[in-house]
Amino acid sequence: MIAAYQSYCQSLVDPVLEQLFQAPHANMTRLYEAMRYSVMNGGKRVRPLLVLASCEAVAGDPKRAIGAACAVELIHAYSLVHDDLPAMDNDAWRRGQPTTHIAFDEAYAILAGDALQALAFEVLCDVVHSPVPESTRLQMLQLLTKAAGAAGMVGGQAIDLSATGQQVDQQHLEHMHRHKTGALIRASVVLGGMAGGTVSDSCLASLTSYAEAVGLAFQVQDDILDITSSTQVLGKQQGSDSQQAKSTYPNLLGLQKAQQYALHLRDQALAALDSFDSKADPLRQLADYIVQRKN
């Protein structure tokens, strides 16, 4: 079921993403190739799925949210490109392929990441991809800038860096993840709701509670997969500094308790949707998928 929804969403989002990578001049070909490589190489598209599912949950036409869906994926792709750089996690492999700075070089990976971030805001502002009132687009833009920047994802990366080599407690770990991965996941869900139409504050609050729980569940499951998935472990052993001296949920809680925690967060996410009807089923299935995924 989620696979069918995933392909439906991908059929809406991927063609729009694909058309963004046409170099306007021959001497920019390598930059655009690096951008395309970083986005079109097999990501799961979890954040665009959340945008579109959230739009549907508030009875909106998902086509109104395509700009937001593309924008969150572009921000996500940029964050991975920069996170993989030698100055950050120094990862040589992502999605089973060489990371952007290995396939191209560091300078192009930095530029591609920068350009992807700017492109995200361009797509979100474009009325063709975000056919919503101008005032809504402005609010959506403000929400995404905050989620991507120092108050959100980049701030989370800084919190992570500030604790390099130290063991931290669960409270610190959650504070970091709420920013580093949680802010963009939260923004994805809220942007979908905003694009869907006029929604009440209480509806947005429920979507936010759902997103908070799902964002943390995503991270707990990511930590679990880091130790249970042999292919990921293999990938990370090849040229990665990221697994050294890291505090993770399985490290802090033990594997079994971490798994129980992921399920508890999934249940919290589902409970936040209690007042929604069956149009929120894709969001419900996504919560399940996030804690059951194997990659």
Among positions 222-281, residues that touch ligand GRG (CB under 6 A) are 222
Q: Does 44 bind ligand GRG (CB under 6 A)?
A: yes
Separation between Cα atoms, residue 50 and residue 36, nearest integer Å = 22
Shorter beta-carbon distance to ligand GRG: residue 210 or 249:
249
Structure tokens at 87: 């100055």
Applying CB under 6 A, the span of 8-16, 40-48, 59-67, 229-237 interacting with ligand GRG comes to: 40-48
Shorter beta-carbon distance to ligand GRG: residue 47 or 64:
47
Q: Does 153 bind ligand GRG (CB under 6 A)?
A: yes
Helix/strand/coil percent split, the chain, to 5? 75, 0, 25
For residue 119, CA distances in Å to 26, 111, 137, 196 come to 19, 12, 15, 22
Helix 134-148 and helix 153-162, axial crossing angle in degrees, nearest 10: 10
Inter-residue contact 254 to 282 (CB < 8 Å): no
In one-letter notation, the amino acid at residue 187 is A
Binding residues for ligand GRG, rule CB under 6 A, total 16
Supply the minimum distance, in Å, between the C-beta of residue 26 and ligand GRG: 30
Supply the minimum distance, in Å, between the C-beta of residue 238 and ligand GRG: 15
Supply the minimum distance, in Å, between the C-beta of residue 100 and ligand GRG: 12
Supply the minimum distance, in Å, between the C-beta of residue 185 and ligand GRG: 9
Residue 132: name the closest of 179, 62, 182, 81 by CA: 62
How many CA atoms does the CB half-sphere of 177 hold within 13 Å? 23
Shorter beta-carbon distance to ligand GRG: residue 67 or 152:
152
Shorter beta-carbon distance to ligand GRG: residue 42 or 133:
42
Inter-residue contact 83 to 160 (CB < 8 Å): no
Separation between Cα atoms, residue 35 and residue 33, nearest integer Å = 5
Supply the minimum distance, in Å, between the C-beta of residue 181 and ligand GRG: 5
- In the shown chain, the binding pattern of residues 58 to 97 toward ligand GRG, with x for contact by CB under 6 A and - for none, equals ---------------------xx-xx----x------x--
Inter-residue contact 193 to 205 (CB < 8 Å): no
Supply the minimum distance, in Å, between the C-beta of residue 157 and ligand GRG: 4
- In the shown chain, the binding pattern of residues 158 to 197 toward ligand GRG, with x for contact by CB under 6 A and - for none, equals ----------------------xx----------------
Shorter beta-carbon distance to ligand GRG: residue 276 or 289:
289
Q: Does 101 bind ligand GRG (CB under 6 A)?
A: no
Buried b (16+ CB within 10 A) or exposed e, 99-117: bbbbbbeeebbbbbbebbb
In degrees and rounded to multiples of 5, residue 89 shows phi and psi of -85, -15
In one-letter notation, the amino acid at residue 281 is D
Supply the minimum distance, in Å, between the C-beta of residue 23 and ligand GRG: 23
User: 83 Cβ partners below 8 Å, 6+ apart?
Assistant: 89, 91, 157
Shorter beta-carbon distance to ligand GRG: residue 39 or 58:
39
**Interface positions with ligand GRG (CB under 6 A):** 43-44, 46, 79-80, 82-83, 88, 95, 153-154, 156-157, 180-181, 222
